[in-house]
C-alpha cells in the first residue's frame, strides 16, 4: 500500500491559498505581489506607531490594515514568502512505501 500525496484544504473544503495545488495557505501568486503585500503591511504597522504622537489614537486605525495585508502577523508573512519562493520547485513523490522530495 503506497501513501497518497495530500494537499491542504481550507475548513470549507476549498484548496488552501489561492487554489494552486502544492502551495501553502500563506503563499501569494507571485513573489512581487507578496513583497508588495509586505510593504503595505509593514508600512501600515510602522505608520500606526510612528504617527501616534502626531495624530493620536486615530493612527492606530492603520494597524488592522497592516495585519490584514500580512495575513495575520509578520511571521505569517515570512512563512508565506518562503512558500511563494519555493512553490513549484520541489515535488514530493511516493513509490514503494517511501516518499522523497525532488527538484522539478
Q: Find the angle CA(44)-CA(14)-CA(30) to the nearest 5 degrees.
A: 45
Report if residue 53 sits inside a domain: yes
| Statement: the pTM of the whole predicted model exceeds 0.85 | no
Domain count, the chain: 1
Report if residue 9 sits inside a domain: no
pLDDT of residue 28: 85
Alpha-carbon span 75 to 68, nearest angstrom: 13
Report if residue 18 sits inside a domain: no
HSE toward the beta carbon, residue 48, CA cutoff 13 A:
15
Report if residue 17 sits inside a domain: no
Report if residue 35 sits inside a domain: yes
The boundaries of the domain holding residue 78 are: 31-103
Report if residue 23 sits inside a domain: no
Residue 12: what are its φ and ψ, rounded to 5°? Answer: -80, -5
Report if residue 7 sits inside a domain: no
pLDDT tens digits, 79-88: 999 888 888 7
Task: Return the H-helix or E-strand segment holding 68.
Answer: helix 62-69
pLDDT band (50, 70, 90) for residue 89 = confident
56 CB burial (10 A radius; 0-12, 13-18, 19+): exposed
Report if residue 10 sits inside a domain: no
Residue 48 near residue 59, CB atoms below 8 Å: yes
Amino acid at each position: 500500500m503506497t501513501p497518497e500525496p495530500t494537499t491542504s484544504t481550507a475548513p470549507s473544503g476549498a484548496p488552501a491559498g489561492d487554489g494552486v495545488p502544492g502551495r501553502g495557505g500563506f503563499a501569494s501568486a507571485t513573489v512581487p505581489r507578496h513583497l508588495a503585500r509586505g510593504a503595505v503591511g509593514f508600512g501600515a504597522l510602522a505608520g500606526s506607531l510612528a504617527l501616534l504622537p502626531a495624530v493620536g489614537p486615530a493612527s492606530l486605525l492603520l494597524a488592522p490594515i497592516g495585519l490584514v495585508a500580512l495575513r495575520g502577523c509578520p511571521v505569517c508573512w515570512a512563512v508565506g514568502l518562503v512558500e511563494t519562493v519555493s512553490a513549484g520547485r520541489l515535488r514530493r513523490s511516493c513509490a514503494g512505501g517511501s516518499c522523497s522530495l525532488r527538484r522539478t
